[in-house]
Amino acid sequence: AQSVAQPEDQVNVAEGNPLTVKCTYSVSGNPYLFWYVQYPNRGLQFLLKYITGDNLVKGSYGFEAEFNKSQTSFHLKKPSALVSDSALYFCAVRDMKYGGSQGKLFFGKGTKLSVKP
Amino acid sequence: DAGVIQSPRHEVTEMGQEVTLRCKPISGHDYLFWYRQTMMRGLELLIYFNNNVPIDDSGMPEDRFSAKMPNASFSTLKIQPSEPRDSAVYFCASSLLGAGKNIQYFGAGTRLSVL
């Protein structure tokens, strides 16, 4: 069965410090992995994705994520956090075993990132 | 493109009333998804369509919920009768399947309050 775990409900960092938001996944086949961000009273916005190729994926707003197959992880990172990065972050996975017409994503419960000045 | 458009943005209704939420996906997208978000349960997939055909409705909570997609540019999610526990933010998302795609684009959501 497909699933995504975000072990931290909240991550607190000081502005300028590096940040990491953790995500692990479970799928039957190869994964497509995604990170989305949600600002208050807004819909989810796509940040980055891993499909294949380089394990380090770069996305919007200076975010990057590293795919680690052996650890089934896809942690989101940023070298220097900004107060404006404060938001809710969601990891999601699509199981490529169910390719073709299967477009379903499985989302984690979300991690609230708080960046203090 | 204007993105995924949902209406209304806010809906307040009384228990027992019918509620209809609307969604216009991004033009050309062949998948449409309805999600519900609450503090307690997080983001839940309710149903999704491919080329206007419902593919998986296993997330629809009960028979009070129904969804339709009469054409490629419009979908509705209906709750009849509504109950206070249906209060949540409902999101619609659309995507285009294929190599290099797979990104779901979300609307701004409809915040539903059932009194």
- State how far residue B33 is from chain A, nearest Cα, in angstroms: 9
Dihedral sign (CA B8, B11, B13, B18): positive
Question: B11 or A53: which carries more pLDDT confidence?
Answer: B11
Q: Is A45 on the interface with B (CB under 8 A)?
A: yes
**CB spacing of A101 vs B102 below 8 angstroms:** no
Q: Taking CB atoms and an 8 Å cut-off, how many pairs form between chains A and B?
A: 55
Q: Which residues are CB-contacts of B22 (< 8 A; sequence separation ≥ 6)? A: B6, B7, B8, B74, B75, B76
- List, for residues A7-54, the tens digit of each pLDDT value: 999 999 999 999 999 999 998 888 889 999 999 888 999 999 998 888
* Residue found under tokens 């009273």: A41
DSSP state of A9: S
CA–CA distance, A36 with A65 (Å, rounded to integer)? 12
Strands A10-14 and A111-116: parallel
> Residue A81: pLDDT above 60?
yes
3-state secondary structure of A10: strand
Interface residues of B toward A, Cβ cutoff 8 Å, are 4, 31, 33, 42-43, 45, 48, 50, 55-56, 91, 93, 95, 97, 100, 102-109
Average pLDDT over residues A76-100: 88
Nearest to B103 among A49, A107, A109 (CB): A49
Q: Do B91 and A94 touch (CB under 8 A)?
A: no
Task: Tell me, yes or no, if A10 comes closer than 8 A to chain B by beta carbon.
Answer: no
Contacts of B42 in chain A (CB under 8 A): 107-110
Q: Would you call A44 and B93 a contact, using CB atoms and an 8 Å cutoff? A: yes
Q: Transcribe B38-59 into DSSP letters.
A: ETTTEEEEEEEEETTEEEE-TT
Cα–Cα distance between A44 and A36 in angstroms, integer? Answer: 6
Q: Check if A104 contacts B (Cβ < 8 Å).
A: yes
Average pLDDT of span A85-92: 96
Q: Which of B50, B95, B106 sits opposite A43 (nearest CB)?
A: B106
A6 and A23 in contact (C-beta within 8 Å)? yes
The reported pLDDT for the residue numbered A101 is 45
Indicate if the pLDDT at residue A97 is higher than 70.
no
